[in-house]
Amino acid sequence: MWQSLRISHLILRLSLALVFLWFGVDKFFHPVYWLNAWTPNFLINFVMALHISANSLVYSIGVVELLVGISLVSNMFVDLFALVAAVFLIVISLFYGFNEILVRDVGLIGGLLALVFWPGSRSSTGWR
C-alpha cells in the first residue's frame, strides 16, 4: 500500500508540475496574449499606477507558476507551493465566475489540496 501511495504522490506531483511549468513558460513567450485575454483591466491599471509595466506583472505570475512547477518536480516545499498555487487559482476563479476555466481550476485546486493534506506530507521540521 505504501508503494501505491508513493507512486500516486509522484504522478499527482508531476502532472500538476507539467501544468504549472507549461503556463509559467508560456507567459514568457506570449505575455501580450496573457494580458489581453486573461488579466483584468483593474489589475493592469493598478500595477501601472505603481509604475510597474503590465508585462512585468505577467512575468511575475509566470515566475510564481515556474516556482510551483519546480517545487512539485523537486519534491521540495510542496506543501507551501501547492497551497500558494491553490490560493492563486481560487482568487482567479473569483474574478472569472462560473465557466469552463473554473471547471478546470476546480480539478487543479483539488489536486493541489490533496498534496497539501497528503498523509505524512510534513516532516518533523514543518516543510518537506
Segment (H or E) for 58: helix 54-74
Q: What is the pLDDT of residues 55-81, one digit of tens each?
A: 999 999 999 999 999 999 999 999 999
Angle at Cα 116 formed by Cα 119 and Cα 110, nearest 5°?
A: 110
Cα-Cα-Cα-Cα dihedral sign, residues 75, 22, 101, 33: positive
Share of the chain above pLDDT 90, in %: 72
Q: What is the pLDDT of residues 10-23, one digit of tens each?
A: 999 999 999 999 99
Whether residue 125 has pLDDT greater than 90 = no
Evaluate whether 122 touches 128 at the Cβ level (below 8 Å). Answer: yes
Task: Tell me what pLDDT residue 127 has.
Answer: 43
Q: What is the pLDDT of residues 25-34, one digit of tens each?
A: 999 999 999 9
Alpha-carbon gap, residue 107 to 16, rounded angstroms: 10
- Helix axes of 54-74 and 41-49: crossing angle, nearest 10 degrees: 110
